[in-house]
């Protein structure tokens, strides 16, 4: 496989198959077929690698943290990003590092062009972190700081990451108790960029809510019109039934004569 960088070898991370080898601080052994099946990056890299690189059968990364690569490999191997697997990976992390960790793993997946994994991780990132009660201010501050840390971990210059961080904030706005939103926005350590994204998501949510309300009112008016029409039809039918009953009565009288 091709050597991606020769700098900072103390941080080197290596994929190997089949024998074990070491490079820098961390070594990973992984099945080449599984790796190339789930990553366009590795599929192309292995195809274009020179004979010497293929014989060495290694790739060195000097700009990825071992724990992020380890999680990426586990998700690829398991072909799953289940909630139980996620909790297993992030349980021991600090309170404000859980979402950030998943963001970093998503960035690795995006770099390696693992589209299915990016989609699954993105969905989990957008909804993760809201599995507790937020009845007091401390919990609510934890919530917003957790989302803020994830927001700031995204690369603001990468379109795909900007889109996902917007989804994270949007989900936060949808899930966070609106009556407590003002109290957490006064936190001193919230960045202007995060505040802007919050208000952007809040404005969009308010706009969507107004549209839903307008549509609901329109449907209600249509239903009311329909009800009024049905009531008129019922009155007309009752009138016709009454007229028919009168005609039947007249016919019966004529027959008696």
- pLDDT tens across the length of the chain (257 residues): 333 333 333 333 444 443 333 334 777 777 778 888 888 888 887 776 554 455 566 777 778 888 888 888 888 887 777 777 777 777 666 666 777 888 888 888 888 888 888 888 877 776 664 545 555 666 677 777 778 878 878 878 887 788 778 777 877 777 776 766 776 666 657 778 888 888 788 788 777 778 888 888 888 888 888 888 888 888 888 888 888 887 777 777 766 65
pTM of the model: 0.58
Q: How far, in whole angstroms, is CA 230 from its chain's centroid? A: 45
Alpha-carbon distance values, 182 to 88, 138, 140, 177 (Å): 33, 14, 11, 10
146 token code pair: 């957790």
């Amino acid at each position: 496989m091709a050597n991606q960088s020769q700098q900072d070898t103390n941080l080197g991370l290596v994929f190997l198959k089949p024998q074990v080898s070491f490079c820098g601080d961390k070594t990973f052994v992984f099945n080449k077929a599984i790796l190339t099946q789930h990553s366009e990056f590795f599929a192309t890299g292995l195809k274009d690698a020179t004979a010497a690189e293929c014989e060495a059968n290694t790739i060195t990364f000097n700009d990825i943290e071992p724990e992020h690569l380890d999680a990426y490999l586990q998700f690829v191997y398991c072909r799953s990003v289940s909630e139980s697997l996620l909790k297993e990976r992030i349980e021991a992390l600090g309170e404000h590092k859980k979402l950030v960790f998943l963001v970093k793993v998503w960035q690795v997946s995006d770099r390696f062009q693992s589209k299915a994994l990016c989609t699954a991780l993105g969905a989990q990132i957008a909804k993760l972190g809201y599995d507790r009660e937020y009845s007091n201010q401390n919990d609510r501050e934890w919530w917003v700081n957790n989302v803020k840390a994830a927001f700031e971990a995204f690369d603001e210059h990468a379109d795909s990451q900007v889109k996902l961080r917007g989804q994270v904030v949007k989900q936060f706005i949808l899930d966070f108790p609106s009556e407590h939103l003002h109290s957490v926005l006064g936190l001193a350590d919230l960045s202007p960029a995060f505040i802007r994204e919050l208000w952007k998501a809040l404005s969009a949510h308010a706009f969507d809510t107004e549209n839903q309300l307008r549509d609901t009112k329109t449907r209600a008016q249509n239903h009311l019109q329909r009800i009024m029409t049905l009531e008129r039809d019922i009155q007309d039918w009752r009138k016709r039934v009454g007229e028919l009953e009168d005609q039947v009565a007249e016919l019966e009288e004529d027959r008696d004569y």
